[in-house]
Amino acid sequence: MARRPHASLEPSDVEASSAPLLHGRGADFSVALQALVTAMNSTAVRESILEQSDFPLPGDMPAFLLVNQLIYRTSARPTDMADAIGTGRSNVSKIVRRLEDAGLVGRMPDPDDGRQSRIALTAVGRDAARRILSVSSRAYEVIFDDWSDEDFDQLQALVVRMVANIDARLDHTIERAAGVRPPQPAAAF
């Protein structure tokens, strides 16, 4: 089969394409949020936290991501972790075995379905989770060091409100993807 030629661009095409695609209400917010999520989920940031937290399985990013999910979920079915960490179900079984061998997670019967199991952090796993949270918390302390308590509280309230609204209006997509119910706003502004 013949290879299709690459599309060629003219300088005028590039100039036309440099106009922002996002504009109008919320464009700056959308760009900022996309940049934040992309940066915080980047391989470089994840590897840095993995290393700084002295994660017991050095370099094992899938295991690190699964432990991160258990920090928020407390326990989960192994099959529910596949989407959450971006891997296949069969690979989750291998990851769980590595975490079990390291003493970081254990299995228990699923109280909702006795045919399935749930995984949860062991005491050793909770210690690793605390180190991960400590590294992450230090980063947030630096970020918000010069923010007043009122500014931080307002940001937190608005983000919680936004996430709750997104989840409610998009058929609980955040809850399904994250495995936890988003916090609910304390009160309207």
**What pLDDT, in 10s, does the model give residues 36-83?**
888 888 999 999 999 999 999 999 999 999 999 999 988 999 888 888
How many domains does the chain fold into? Answer: 2
Q: What is the largest CA-CA distance in the chain?
A: 64
Alpha-carbon span 187 to 157, nearest angstrom = 8
Q: Which residue has the tokens 């934040």?
A: 36
Shared-domain flag, residues 127 and 154: no
Shared-domain flag, residues 163 and 180: yes
Structure tokens at 84: 């959450």
Q: What domain range includes position 113?
A: 44-143
* 5 domain residue, yes or no: no
What's the CATH code of the domain at 56?
A: 1.10.10.10
Shared-domain flag, residues 132 and 169: no
The last residue of one of the domains, among 110, 126, 143, is: 143
Shared-domain flag, residues 138 and 185: no
* 28 domain residue, yes or no: no
Shared-domain flag, residues 131 and 101: yes
* 74 domain residue, yes or no: yes
The fraction of the chain above a pLDDT of 90, given in percent, is: 47
Shared-domain flag, residues 129 and 152: no
Strands in 75-76's sheet, in edge-to-edge order, are 75-76, 113-121, 105-110
Alpha-carbon span 57 to 50, nearest angstrom = 9
**What pLDDT, in 10s, does the model give residues 149-163?**
999 999 999 999 988
Q: What angle do CA 23, 29, 33 make, to 5 degrees?
A: 120
Shared-domain flag, residues 155 and 117: no
Task: Enter the pTM of the model.
Answer: 0.81
Shared-domain flag, residues 153 and 62: no
pLDDT for res 36: 87
* 139 domain residue, yes or no: yes
Q: What is the mean pLDDT of residues 101-109?
A: 95
